[in-house]
């Protein structure tokens, strides 16, 4: 029995990288779930290859999954990788630059044969396994494929199927390496392959083989442990951003008592929302895959007219197509939630990459004076509450609302202390009540309440028959009106109605930091994690800094201006060319500092920290 030392680590970043076919996403998910169960905090970031599957083994075909976990608060998936698992040459080539010097490489030697090397575009004769640069790392080579086939030699499965178990070997090994039990994964395998005895058996065998490989092989002398993190008490689950949106919508449906309607046209990275919702029919969720984005939003407008909680979802190019119909919803003053999972633009751009691409289009991308509230999620878990809020605003203020997320939030995962349904607030709705159609009193669809909100009168309600449309309407009666004064009144009223929503949202709060001081780092959306981790570090270093993340982008919280003015400088980091910065400058005439990264990937801790530190130096 070899003796094994166990070392405790505060945080680790592991990257699983392999061919699209190697099941790295699943491996990452399973290891993430098991990590979550240990109570560590964590953040993940999958990076898929571009939409179309490239041939196996090629650089374009590499699929990766990065997990950052620790016994302290974890805000980002990690700048640099401590442990890289590379299933083939292409995976090593595309990811080596991300591994910190001294990091660990776990390589599947079977993925480095001449074919793999050629596909990974290595020169003939060149072999990375012999690359001297590898000396800067702790390298473990194992013949995952061979070992897998061996341990399955008695299995009735064909080689192709056997090889599909490869990832279980790796997973088993890592579970051992991080002092975990195999229970959670075994449970998964049992349920996932229920009824497929052979496959179930094979996966189990391979998993255990990998686990014991670590245990028995002499080369491995250390295991590691990452203890649980100081998270708030409670029950947690792991959640991805698009999933959280789905739950937020269903919650809004249940809490408002309105059936949920989702009209959409598939588009990366929003499609998963359609997929998940279409599986929730027992919640009364109706999904409609329309012929295009225009039909999708129009179907949602029709459903809203009919009294449903109506939602349409898309990504940038689709949102660009919905502009005209958004204007209609705005004129009709019907509740409508427009979900935009942002991706790299312009045009088709970078469909699988993340970008805070569409804030300006969300605010201004329609003809005429057409104010629409905008709400943004800041993290995978936050997407639940943000989507719920967006739906609430749409329903209670009778207006289209745009909800913004992005590819990073959509596909990222984190622990979520999910609420009890009984703790989720009701969304009070009242439809206009029917009356005697012969009482001679014409119904007035545009008579507003104190919040400038018009009544929601459903077709089918006795006595309320009325006509609405996209032409300018007369105040109160809703009749078509070309009257000049009425037009100005209505334009201003529609604007005031949206402004008024500021009375029904919380004031802007600080995520952390000093109430006033040198630097406020102001973010929106998916920059949340990196800003928080940077501000955390700067605070620890004793800087007078703070972090605020804006969820409500239109209207802004009332106190936002004053908050910003309490700091010598305001820094706005964005994964775009400075869209929030534009809006802030316009609205508050504050000379903000921008930090922009437009690479389709998140800002790293180091990048932002160095920039902020420099800025603080100048103060």
Partner 1 sequence: MSQLPKSNIKLKASDYATDQDVRWCPGCGDYSILKQVQTVLAELGQDPDQIAIISGIGCSSRFPYYMETYGLHSIHGRAPGIVSGLKLANPELSVWMVTGDGDGLSIGGNHMLHILRRNFDVNIMLFNNQIYGLTKGQYSPTSELHKKTKSTPLGSLDHPVNPLAFAMGSDATFVARSMDRDPKHLQEMLKRSAEHKGTSFLEIYQNCNIFNDGAFFTFTDKETKKATALFLEQGKPLIFGQNDELGIRLDGYKPTVVPLNEGEFSADDLWIHDEFDMYKAQFLTRFFDDPNHMSEYYLPRPFGVFYQTNRPTYEEMVFEQLDIARKSQGEGNLDKLLAGSTTWEIQ
One of 57, 61, 210, 266 touching ligand TPP (CB under 6 A): 266
Select from a second copy, ligand SF4, partner 1, none the partner in contact with residue 72, using the beta carbon and a kind-dependent cut-off of 5 to 8 Å. Answer: none
Q: What gap in Å lies between CA 185 and CA 198, rounded to an integer? A: 17
Q: Does residue 591 touch a second copy according to CB under 8 A?
A: yes
Residue closer to ligand TPP, measured from CB, 61 or 269: 269
Q: What gap in Å lies between CA 354 and CA 513, rounded to an integer? A: 28
Q: Measured from the CB of residue 464, what is the shortest distance to a second copy in angstroms?
A: 22
Q: Does residue 318 touch ligand TPP according to CB under 6 A?
A: yes
Residue closer to partner 1, measured from CB, 94 or 184: 184
Select from ligand TPP, partner 1, ligand SF4, none the partner in contact with residue 6, using the beta carbon and a kind-dependent cut-off of 5 to 8 Å. Answer: none
Q: Does residue 544 touch partner 1 according to CB under 8 A?
A: no
Q: What is the DSSP letter of 52?
A: S
What residues contact 403, with CB distance under 8 A and at least 6 apart? 245, 337, 338, 339, 340, 374, 375, 376, 377, 386, 387, 390
Select from a second copy, ligand SF4, partner 1, none the partner in contact with residue 238, using the beta carbon and a kind-dependent cut-off of 5 to 8 Å. Answer: partner 1
Q: Provide φ and ψ at 41, rounded to 5°.
A: -85, 155
Buried b (16+ CB within 10 A) or exposed e, 222-250: ebbebeebeeeeeebebbbbbbbbbbbbb
Q: Measured from the CB of residue 267, what is the shortest distance to ligand TPP in angstroms?
A: 4
Select from ligand SF4, a second copy, ligand TPP, none the partner in contact with residue 265, using the beta carbon and a kind-dependent cut-off of 5 to 8 Å. Answer: ligand TPP
Q: What gap in Å lies between CA 619 and CA 616, rounded to an integer? A: 5
Dihedral sign for Cα atoms in the order 507, 510, 516, 520: negative
- Asked if 370 contacts 617 with a C-beta cutoff of 8 angstroms, the reply is no
User: Strand, coil or helix: what is 99?
Assistant: strand
Largest CA distance in the chain: 95
What one-character-per-residue DSSP string does 475-531 give?
Answer: TBT--B---HHHHHHHHHHHHHHHHHGGGGSPPP--SEE-SSEEEEEEEEGGGHHHH
Which residue is closest to ligand SF4 by CB?
52
What one-character-per-residue DSSP string does 158-198 give?
Answer: -HHHHHTTHHHHHHHHHHHHTT--SHHHHHHHHHHTTT-HH
Q: Does residue 325 touch partner 1 according to CB under 8 A?
A: yes
Could you say which residues in the range 49-108 bind partner 1, by CB under 8 A? 50-56, 58, 60
- Asked if 164 contacts 18 with a C-beta cutoff of 8 angstroms, the reply is no
Residue in the block written with tokens 């709060």: 509
Residue closer to a second copy, measured from CB, 221 or 348: 348
The count of residues interacting with partner 1 (CB under 8 A) is: 102
Q: Measured from the CB of residue 348, what is the shortest distance to ligand TPP in angstroms?
A: 6
Q: What gap in Å lies between CA 208 and CA 25, rounded to an integer? A: 20
Could you say which residues in the range 464-503 bind a second copy, by CB under 8 A? 469-472, 482, 484-485, 487-488, 491-492, 494-495
One of 171, 260, 301, 357 touching a second copy (CB under 8 A): 357
Residue closer to partner 1, measured from CB, 470 or 561: 470
One of 21, 26, 39, 53 touching ligand SF4 (CB under 6 A): 53
Q: Measured from the CB of residue 48, what is the shortest distance to ligand TPP in angstroms?
A: 15
Q: Measured from the CB of residue 368, what is the shortest distance to ligand TPP in angstroms?
A: 13
Q: Does residue 352 touch partner 1 according to CB under 8 A?
A: no
Q: What is the token pair recorded at 429?
A: 């709705």
One of 5, 6, 7, 52 touching ligand SF4 (CB under 6 A): 52
- The binding site for a second copy (CB under 8 A) comprises 50, 315-317, 319-321, 323-324, 327-328, 330-331, 344-353, 355, 357-358, 360-361, 363-370, 469-472, 482, 484-485, 487-488, 491-492, 494-495, 576-577, 582-583, 585-587, 589, 591, 597-601
- The binding site for ligand TPP (CB under 6 A) comprises 265-267, 293, 317-318, 321, 348
């Amino acid at each position: 029995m070899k003796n094994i030392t166990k070392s405790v680590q505060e945080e680790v970043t592991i990257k699983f990288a392999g061919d699209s076919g190697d099941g790295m996403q699943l491996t990452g998910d399973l290891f993430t779930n098991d990590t979550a169960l240990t109570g560590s905090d964590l953040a993940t970031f999958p990076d898929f290859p571009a939409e179309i599957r490239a041939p196996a083994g090629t650089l374009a075909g590499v699929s990766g999954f990065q997990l950052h976990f620790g016994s302290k608060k974890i805000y980002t998936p990690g700048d640099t990788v401590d442990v890289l698992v590379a299933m083939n040459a292409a995976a090593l080539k595309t990811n080596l630059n991300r591994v910190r010097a001294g990091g660990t490489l776990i390589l599947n030697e079977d993925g480095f044969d001449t074919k793999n090397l050629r596909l990974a575009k290595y020169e003939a004769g060149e072999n990375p396994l012999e690359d001297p640069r590898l000396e800067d790392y702790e390298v473990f080579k194992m013949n995952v494929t061979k070992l897998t086939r061996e341990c399955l030699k008695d299995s009735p499965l064909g080689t192709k199927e056997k090889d599909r178990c490869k990832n279980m070997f790796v997973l088993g090994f890592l579970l051992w390496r991080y002092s975990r039990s195999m229970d959670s994964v075994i449970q998964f395998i049992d349920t996932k392959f229920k009824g497929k005895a052979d496959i179930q058996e094979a996966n189990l065998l391979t998993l255990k083989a990998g686990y014991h490989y670590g245990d028995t092989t002499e080369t491995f002398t250390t295991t590691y442990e990452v203890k649980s993190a100081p998270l708030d008490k409670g029950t947690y689950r792991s959640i991805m951003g698009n999933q959280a949106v789905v739950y937020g919508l269903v919650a809004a449906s249940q809490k408002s008592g309105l059936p949920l309607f989702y009209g959409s046209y598939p588009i990366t990275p929003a499609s998963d929302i359609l997929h998940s919702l279409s599986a929730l029919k027992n919640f009364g969720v109706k999904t409609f895959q329309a012929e295009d984005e225009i039909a999708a939003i129009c179907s949602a407008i029709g459903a809203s007219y009919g009294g449903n909680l109506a939602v349409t979802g898309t990504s940038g190019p689709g949102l660009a197509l919905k502009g005209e119909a958004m204007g209609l919803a705005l004129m009709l003053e019907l509740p409508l939630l427009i979900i935009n999972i942002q991706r790299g633009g312009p045009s088709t751009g970078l469909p699988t990459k993340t970008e805070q691409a569409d804030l300006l289009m969300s605010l201004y991308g329609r003809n005429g004076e057409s104010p629409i509230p905008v709400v943004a999620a800041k993290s995978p878990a936050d997407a639940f509450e943000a989507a719920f809020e967006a739906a609430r605003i749409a329903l209670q203020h009778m207006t289209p609302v745009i909800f913004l997320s992005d590819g990073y939030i959509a596909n990222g995962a984190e622990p979520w202390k999910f609420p009890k349904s009984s703790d989720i607030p009701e969304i009070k709705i009242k439809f206009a009540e029917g009356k005697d159609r012969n009482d001679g009193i014409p119904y007035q669809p545009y008579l507003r309440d104190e919040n400038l909100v018009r009544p929601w009168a459903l077709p089918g309600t006795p006595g309320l028959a009325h006509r609405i449309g996209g032409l300018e309407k007369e105040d109160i009666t809703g009749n078509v009106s070309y009257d000049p004064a009425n037009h100005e009144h209505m334009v201003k009223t529609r604007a005031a109605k949206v402004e008024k929503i500021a009375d029904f949202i919380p004031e802007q709060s600080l995520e952390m930091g000093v109430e006033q001081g040198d630097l406020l780092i102001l973010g929106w959306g998916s920059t949340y994690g990196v800003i928080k981790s940077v501000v955390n570090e700067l605070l620890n270093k004793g800087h007078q800094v703070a972090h605020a993340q804006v969820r409500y982008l239109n209207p802004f919280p009332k106190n936002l201006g004053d908050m910003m003015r309490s700091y010598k400088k305001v820094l706005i980091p964005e994964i775009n060319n400075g869209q929030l910065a534009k809006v802030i400058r316009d609205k508050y005439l504050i000379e903000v500092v921008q930090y922009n990264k437009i690479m389709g990937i998140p800002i790293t801790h180091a990048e932002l920290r160095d920039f902020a530190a420099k800025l603080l130096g100048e103060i």
